[in-house]
Amino acid sequence: MVTTSDFRTGLIVKIDGELFSIVEFQHVKMARGAAFTRTKMKSLQTGRVLERTFRGSDKLEDVRVERRTMQYLYRDGDNLVCMDNETYEQLSIDSNLMTPGSDFLKEGEKVSILMNGETPVAAEMPFFVVLEIIKTDPGLKGDTVSGATKPATVETGGKVQVPLFIEEGDFIKIDTRSSTYLERVNK
């Protein structure tokens, strides 16, 4: 059990049978009255954000999780098949456990899997990936409108908005958290 004085960013707690990771918290002490803690928590299963206030005497169940680095092998329906790099065991993970940006997950990519015992509770993509553009409209010569973008499809099938000068065959760096183009990369 943990109290509000034990809160820290990234702490995983169980509330009403659902696992939440603390994203933000703030201890508040009023001139009169008891102290309390405002928190913003993200569900590991659904990704929804919950804002809740706890009194200093409230106790929550903490959950011990282990982070394992695994290699993504392939998609099997709604599941992602990953391999443990140490034991070479394969693990099938529900794609709903993956953080946003799984459209940019390439075979062979390393992912972090949060395990509660032997049960996967969440999977995290790398923050940045480099992928090849396989389909996009050609940019028009002389079209130099500042900040203009066009849709592009990358090798994993994910879609991203890119600047007009990006062409098919170019490699780009993508921020998987926001699904945005960052820069062109020379390969």
Residues 54 and 19 in one domain: yes
Q: What is the mean pLDDT of each run of 10 residues along the chain (187 residues)?
A: 83 85 87 86 81 87 86 89 90 81 87 86 87 86 70 92 90 90 89
Residues 114 and 141 in one domain: no
Provide the pLDDT for residue 144.
60
Given 99, 124, 149, the domain boundary residue is: 124
Provide the pLDDT for residue 120.
86
Three-point CA angle 23, 91, 133, nearest 5°: 70
Give alpha helix (H) positions in 15-80. none
Residues 58 and 8 in one domain: yes
Provide the pLDDT for residue 63.
83
| Structure tokens that stand for 54 in this block | 């706890």
Residues 41 and 72 in one domain: no
Q: How many residues can be counted in the chain?
A: 187
Provide the pLDDT for residue 187.
75
Say how many domains are in the chain.
3
Residues 137 and 100 in one domain: no
Residues 163 and 138 in one domain: yes
Residues 109 and 133 in one domain: no
Residues 94 and 137 in one domain: no
For residues 124 and 73, what is the distance between their CA atoms, to the nearest angstrom? 15
Domain of residue 102, residue span: 66-124
Residues 51 and 71 in one domain: no
Provide the pLDDT for residue 142.
60
Residues 111 and 145 in one domain: no
* CATH number of the structural domain spanning residue 40: 2.30.30.30
Given 62, 87, 105, the domain boundary residue is: 62
* CATH number of the structural domain spanning residue 177: 2.40.50.140
Name every residue whose Cβ is closer than 8 Å to that of residue 101 and which is 6 or more positions away in sequence: 125, 174, 176, 177, 179
Residues 148 and 173 in one domain: yes
Provide the pLDDT for residue 143.
60
SS3 134: strand
Residues 117 and 133 in one domain: no
Given 74, 92, 124, the domain boundary residue is: 124
